[in-house]
Amino acid sequence: MGKLQGKVAVITGATSGMALATARLFVEEGAYVFITGRRRAQLDQAVKAIGKNVTGVQGDASKLADLDRLYETVKKEKGRVDILFASAGGGELGPIGSITEEQFDRTFGLNVRGTLFTVQKALPLFNDGGSIILNGSIAGIKGFPSASVYSASKAAVRSFARTWTVDLKARNIRVNVLSPGTIDTPILEGFPKEAVDFFVSLIPRGKMGRPEEIATAALFLASSDSSFVTGIEMFVDGGAAQI
% helix / strand / coil in the chain, to the nearest 5? 45, 20, 35
- List the helix and strand counts (H, then E) for the chain: 8, 7
Task: Check the CA dihedral 210-34-63-232 and report its sign.
Answer: negative
Residue 135, classed as helix, strand or coil, is strand
Pick the CATH number of 8-236 from 3.30.70.260, 3.40.50.300, 3.40.50.720, 2.60.40.10: 3.40.50.720
On the 0-12 / 13-18 / 19+ scale of CB atoms within 10 A, 190 is exposed
Give the rounded percent of residues in the chain with a pLDDT score beyond 70: 100
User: What is the average pLDDT across 14-24?
Assistant: 96
Residue 133, classed as helix, strand or coil, is strand
Run of H or E including 183: none
Whether the per-residue pLDDT at 140 is higher than 90: the answer is yes
Across the chain, mean pLDDT equals 95
Residue 54, classed as helix, strand or coil, is strand
Of the given ranges (75-79, 87-91, 215-219), which has the lowest mean pLDDT? 87-91
71 is catalytic: no
Give the rounded percent of residues in the chain with a pLDDT score beyond 90: 87
pLDDT at site 8: 98
pLDDT at site 186: 78
pLDDT at site 240: 92
Decide if 232 contacts 220 (C-beta within 8 A).
Answer: no
Alpha-carbon dihedral angle through residues 97, 101, 103, 108, given to the nearest 10 degrees: 120
Q: What is the phi/psi pair of residue 96, to 5°? A: -60, 135
Model confidence at 188, in pLDDT bands (50, 70, 90)?
A: confident
pLDDT at site 202: 87
Q: Which listed residue (26, 126, 150, 160) is catalytic? A: 150
Question: pLDDT tens digit string along 81-105?
Answer: 999 999 999 988 899 999 999 999 9
* Domain definitions of the chain by residue range: 8-236
The helix-helix angle for 17-28 and 40-50 (nearest 10°) equals 30
